């Protein structure tokens, strides 16, 4: 690819160090990355043409087992997760090489876009220290870029859970803005996963291509249709364009009252055999087929940028599959 041809001979060394579990930071003598400047949301480029009218994005954690059938019902997959280090290096040691090879095969066969998640719950690592210094951010962005090029990725998804101070919030926006400036020049997407109850101004996150709204774990019945509508509206009111917003959907149920316990949707269907219009069984609240359909239809009618599911391995593989229903709706193969 053209981007690879422009990278000097030292790329081989960089790839071996930045894309392995033993990543080391680049030295200060390495060339500066061109294009790391702050840009405003108004200057942000529009998102590339999607392979689907309503992208279906699935999160796949490193501790799960791949199911080839998923590829037929997705436009994008997010590989969870790599971890930032304080020195600007990137820890990908939890991401098996066999999965990377599988992603490449799926990309070729199904035109699937593949992204890597950075951070996530209990994987925030060095976000605080790395993002504080502009030079360390530069090193991190370069390592992340080399990893994306080496694995032929289509983008990266940031998931810092969560900045705690105004300073950390400002540094996060700086990191996102600088990453977007570099990645957009190479046609790579930058997204961010966010809860809607953030105490920081949401509008600043419009600097990226996609905002994944984590509309789950919200209240007693943790992911109702009504809550999803409210969550989306918060981001719209903050000034983020609808086509940048991705509605997050849970493939799991949670108990209505504490102590909270989770069951995957697949476990719920195998244990309780709920009807399509049922969202609550034995004290667990989840999204059944009809609620998932209602959310997808709302997203499409509102002009959102797609849907995101957490997470793929929690679905079932039979006729009750939530992923299959989402994909059918997104492709227009099933009416709302």
Q: How far is CA 139 from CA 23, 119, 126, 143, 239, in A?
A: 12, 17, 13, 6, 31
| CA distance to 86, 100, 102, 172, per residue, from 66 (Å) | 31, 11, 9, 32
Tokens read off for 324: 């299959």
Residue 141: per-residue pLDDT: 98
Give the pLDDT band (50/70/90) at residue 19.
very low
Give this prediction's pTM: 0.85
Q: Which residues of 2-13 are buried (b: 16+ CB within 10 A; e: fewer)?
A: eeeeeeeeeeee
Q: What is the pLDDT of residues 158-216, one digit of tens each?
A: 999 999 999 999 999 999 999 999 999 999 999 999 998 888 899 999 999 999 999 99
**Measured distance CA(150)–CA(19) in Å, rounded:** 8
Would you tell me the crossing angle of helices 225-237 and 289-302 to the nearest 10 degrees? 20
**pLDDT exceeds 80 at position 328:** yes
- Please check the confidence at residue 324 and state whether its pLDDT lies above 60: yes
pLDDT at 83 over 80: yes
| DSSP letters for 179-214 | HHHHHHTTT-EEEEEE-TT-SS-GGGGGGSSEEEE-
Residue, of 13 and 89, whose pLDDT is higher: 89
CATH architecture for segment(s) 2-253+288-330: Alpha-Beta Barrel (3.20)
Mean pLDDT of 115-136: 93
pLDDT of residue 10: 37
Q: Check residue 124 and give its pLDDT.
A: 85
Whether 157 shows a pLDDT value over 70: the answer reads: yes
Q: Residue 4: is its pLDDT beyond 60?
A: no
pLDDT at 176: 98
Is the previous residue joined to 81 through a cis bond, with omega within 30 degrees of 0?
Answer: yes
pLDDT greater than 50 at residue 5: no
The answer, yes or no, to whether residue 34 has pLDDT greater than 80, is: no
More confident residue, 52 or 271: 271
- Is 131 within 8 Å of 172 (Cβ atoms)? yes
């Amino acid at each position: 690819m053209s981007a690879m041809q422009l990278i000097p001979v030292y790329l081989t060394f960089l790839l071996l160090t930045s894309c392995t579990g033993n990543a080391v930071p680049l030295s200060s003598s390495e060339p500066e990355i061109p294009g790391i400047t702050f840009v405003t949301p108004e200057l942000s480029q529009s998102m590339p043409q999607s392979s689907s009218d309503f992208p279906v994005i699935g999160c796949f954690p490193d501790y799960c087992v791949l199911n080839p059938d998923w590829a037929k019902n997705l436009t994008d997959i997010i590989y969870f997760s790599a971890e930032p280090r304080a020195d600007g290096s990137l820890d990908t040691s939890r991401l098996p090489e066999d999965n990377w090879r599988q992603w490449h095969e799926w990309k070729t066969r199904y035109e699937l876009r593949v992204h890597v998640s950075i951070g996530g719950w209990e994987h925030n690592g060095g976000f605080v220290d790395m993002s504080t210094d502009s030079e360390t951010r530069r090193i991190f962005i370069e390592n992340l870029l080399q990893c994306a090029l080496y694995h032929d990725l289509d983008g990266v998804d940031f998931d810092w859970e969560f900045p705690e101070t105004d300073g950390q919030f400002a540094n996060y926006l700086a990191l996102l803005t600088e990453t977007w400036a570099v990645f957009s020049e190479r046609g790579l997407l930058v997204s961010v996963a966010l809860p809607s109850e953030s105490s920081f101004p949401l509008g600043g996150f419009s600097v990226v291509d996609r905002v994944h709204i984590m509309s789950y774990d919200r209240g007693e019945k943790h992911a109702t249709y009504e809550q999803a509508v409210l969550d989306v509206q918060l981001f719209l009111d903050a000034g983020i364009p609808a086509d940048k917003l991705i509605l997050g959907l849970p493939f799991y149920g949670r108990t209505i009252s504490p102590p909270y316990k989770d069951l995957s949707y697949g476990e719920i269907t195998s244990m309780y055999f709920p009807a399509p219009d049922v969202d609550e069984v034995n004290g667990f609240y989840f999204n059944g087929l009809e609620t998932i359909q209602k959310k997808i239809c709302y997203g499409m009618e509102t002009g959102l940028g797609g849907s995101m599911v957490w997470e793929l391995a929690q679905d079932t593989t039979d006729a009750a599959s939530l992923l299959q229903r989402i994909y059918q709706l997104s492709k227009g193969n099933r009416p709302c």
